[in-house]
Amino acid sequence: MKLCVVCNEPAHLQIKDSIDYYCKKCAQDCFSSLDLLVAIESEAQRIKNILDNNISDIEYNDTIPSN
Ligand SMILES: [Zn+2]
């Protein structure tokens, strides 16, 4: 579990391309915009979805006749 760098509570947000983690409250306090933040779980889920989609694409393409 990642911890918020401000309050040491469990963190659910990460600064893009950084190792700084924030809980939602501190992230909102520190940043006027949350655009620079990514949700840790969502990012993992997004990557998993990409992998799943790639696998699905391969399987889908394999079913299409080459001609
Ligand atoms: Zn915090």
In a domain, 26, yes or no: yes
Q: Give a yes or no: residue 8 inside a domain.
A: no
Q: Which is higher by pLDDT, 65 or 17?
A: 17
Asked, for residue 50, whether it belongs to a domain, the answer is yes
| pLDDT score for 36 | 81
Task: Please state, in angstroms and rounded to a whole number, the distance separating the CA atoms of residues 15 and 20.
Answer: 6
In a domain, 31, yes or no: yes
Residue 40 lies inside a defined structural domain of this protein = yes
- H/E/C letters for each residue in the chain? CCECCCCCCECCEEECCCCCEECHHHHHHHCCCCCCEEEHHHHHHHHHHHHHHHHHHHHHHHCCCCC
pLDDT (tens digit per residue) in 3-62: 999 999 999 899 888 889 999 899 989 887 778 888 876 656 777 777 787 766 655 556
**Residue 37: its pLDDT value, please?**
84
- Domain range for 25 is 13-62
Q: Does 54 reside within a domain?
A: yes
Ligand 1 mean position, distance from CA 18 (Å)? 16
Ligand 1 centre distance from Cα of residue 29 (Å): 9
Conformation bin of residue 27: beta by default, left when phi > 0, alpha when psi is -120 to 50: alpha
Report if residue 3 sits inside a domain: no
Number of domains the chain contains? 1
Instruction: Give the pLDDT confidence score for residue 17 in this predicted structure.
Output: 86
How much is the pLDDT for 26?
A: 93
Q: Which residues surround ligand 1, an ion (CB under 5 A)?
A: 4, 6-7, 9, 23, 26
